[in-house]
Chains A and B, each alone.
Chain A
């Protein structure tokens, strides 16, 4: 069974701080995606990484795919209250279904 474990599970920080969220698996994934979900809404795709070692930047967010394609990280620089939400990594399973990580709930206080 392919599992995606995220850490930390919860993160509460002050505005302006930096943070990193990790997504780890013992399985190799052809690609990984990162989503942000706000309460009462569906997840919104932030980025897809497909190449081992790939780094993608989206404003203050930096995403990295591990060289072995078993892990990924999301780094946020100078977090803002608007970054608050549930961050989910996800990847296609062996049966081509999208499976989600355990999630990281981020709270950024002003």
Chain B
């Protein structure tokens, strides 16, 4: 099956610094990638949708200036948490949609990135 990777898997940073998380589709092209955030013992919450070559679409309540998303190629999307604060500590999961035709789109999930802001 299709594989989505994330890097890094874990990151610890100081408050005020920026952190970049990469999401790659390893064996397929993804025109659309999604970024989710998951707090402990909770479900996944969609943060934003990124389409290759265009600006990301953010969900209500997600600060676009804080969570910068770049989808520069069909296999890579990045999420940058700018000026991170302890409340940004969370599990960030990306997913990539493989387009096989109308009604045949499948979404694959990455293994997640654990961010801890001290």
Contact = CB atoms under 8 A, between A and B. Distances in A.
Task: Give the contact-size bracket for chain A.
Answer: 10 to 19
Contacts of B44: 43, 88, 100
Interface stretch (B69-77, B82-90, B104-112): B104-112
B81 interface: no
Contacts, number: 39
A46 interface: no
Interface stretch (A14-22, A59-67, A70-78, A101-109): A101-109
Contacts of B108: 45
B112 A97 contact: no
Nearest to B46: A97
A98 B43 contact: no
A43 B42 contact: no
B34 A42 contact: no
B100 interface: no
Contacts of A43: 44, 93, 109
